[in-house]
Amino acid sequence: TLAEVLEQPAARVGAMLDQIAAGYTASGHGFELRRAAGGWRLYTRPEYAGYVERFVLDGQSVRLTQAALETLAVVAYKQPVTRSRISAIRGVNCDGVIRTLVTRGLVEECGSEPESGAFLYRTTTLFLEKLGLNTVDELPPLAPFLPDDVEELSDVTR
């Protein structure tokens, strides 16, 4: 695409990108230019990846989505819990949301269920720090937030 835009032969553009990549490496930049998937991409150098990851993850001020908050609540109150159990409680697939929560360090794998072999998830110490709790036992009780007819509702679903 770059060769087309510059109206230059692809071989010439490729050679120039090779030179640019070599220059970045020689200069000790924190990133490198590499061939990838038939094109070129910028990547963080492995020796700097930890710093970039901390910057990106620690600097996240983006709020969690409603789906992420609901999933996090299920994990917090039902831990250790499998993805399938979380999905059953929420009524929707939670795979992507769990990946997001794991990436943000709020949820982690903590073994597997003996019967099915499914991964179990629990909240992390970062979760407790963000909520200002010492343990999950300090989470508020759910009973005040449940509808008065919760027993009737659960009988209907059986």
Using H for helix, E for strand and C for coil, what is the string for 103-155?
Answer: HCCCEEEEEECCCCCCEEEEECHHHHHHHCCCCHHHCCCCHHHCCCCHHHHHH
SS3 87: helix
Q: What is the pLDDT of residues 114-156, one digit of tens each?
A: 999 999 999 998 888 888 778 888 888 877 766 665 555 455 4
Give the separation between CA 124 and CA 109, rounded to whole angstroms. 9
Handedness of CA 46, 51, 53, 55 (dihedral sign): negative
* pLDDT at residue 158 tops 60: no
Predicted confidence at residue 2, as pLDDT, reads: 86
The residues near 133 (Cβ < 8 Å, ≥ 6 apart) are 139
- pLDDT mean over 53-70: 78
* pLDDT at residue 76 tops 90: yes
* pLDDT at residue 157 tops 50: no
Predicted confidence at residue 84, as pLDDT, reads: 94
Q: Which token pair is 144?
A: 């005040």
Q: What is the pLDDT of residues 20-58, one digit of tens each?
A: 999 998 998 888 888 776 677 888 888 888 888 777 776
Which pTM does this prediction carry? 0.56
Give the pLDDT band (50/70/90) at residue 59: low
Residue 32 DSSP symbol: E
